[in-house]
Amino acid sequence: MRILVVEDQTDLRQAVAKRIRALGHAADEAPDGAMAESFVRSYVYDALILDRLLPDGDALVLLRRWRGEGLGAPALFLTACDQVDDRIEGLASGADDYLIKPFSMDELMARIAAIARRGGSIRPTRLRVGDLEIDLGRREVHRRGVLLPLRPKEFAVLQRLAERAGRVVSRSELIAGCWGEDREPASNAEEAVMAALRRKLGDPSPLRMVRGAGYALEDGPLEGGDGPQAP
């Protein structure tokens, strides 16, 4: 997933973004409405985390306008505005959830995962590609009944490819969705993740590189090979 964090408190914004990245997702950070506007105009997000009271205005106004323009990315208000009327106003303006400060980071991550799965419509909680089964809720991957020990970034990359199974995903799209435009991975980080995925998925590998174009996860049934080994 790629998530936009709009929060003027630097320490809090960075802490939330750091936790998102630790789960293998991409996070962009905006300290005010102007930068948030620029990000939203430039990139596609799976979820938005919005502080209500920003230095240049109320994010509620921003979200209301974005919804009017057709932006469907699920949004959560993370704010100290804790009155019932505040929450009602936020939800009426297009927010999908509302969390009051102070908050539990674990709860925030769970709520973001929940609204991102909905994404404005009902999304599957499991993906099946050939003999792979990806449980998005538990963040687990099985192949032929064997649980694969994937790291957060490996899971994020596999999920991105599985959501586009059978199609080529460009390197730039993969980096934007799993690392973020402003966080280009180290020269060998991308290759290391793909190599680890191939090893853990086993043979025959459903993952292929399309030279000069990107990567693809095969969506047809796979025959032969020994498959993954149990950890």
pLDDT computed for residue 182 by the predictor = 53
Enumerate residues 6+ apart whose C-beta is below 8 A from 228. Answer: 143, 144, 146, 148, 200, 201, 202
Domains annotated for the chain, with CATH where assigned, are 2-118 (3.40.50.2300), 126-217 (1.10.10.10)
**Residue 185 in this model has a pLDDT that exceeds 70:** no
At 197 the pLDDT is 92
pLDDT of 66 above 50: yes
C-beta separation of 180 from 174 below 8 A: no
For residue 8, give every residue at least 6 positions away whose Cβ sits within 8 Å of its Cβ, in sequence order, or none: 31, 32, 51, 53, 54, 55
Q: Give pLDDT tens digits for 139-170.
A: 889 998 899 999 888 998 998 898 888 888 88
Q: What is the pLDDT of residue 229?
A: 45
What is the pTM assigned to this prediction? 0.61
Question: What is the torsion angle, in degrees rounded to the nearest 10, for the CA atoms of residue 52, residue 49, residue 65 and residue 55?
Answer: 40
> How far apart, in whole angstroms, are the C-alpha atoms of residue 154 and residue 127?
15
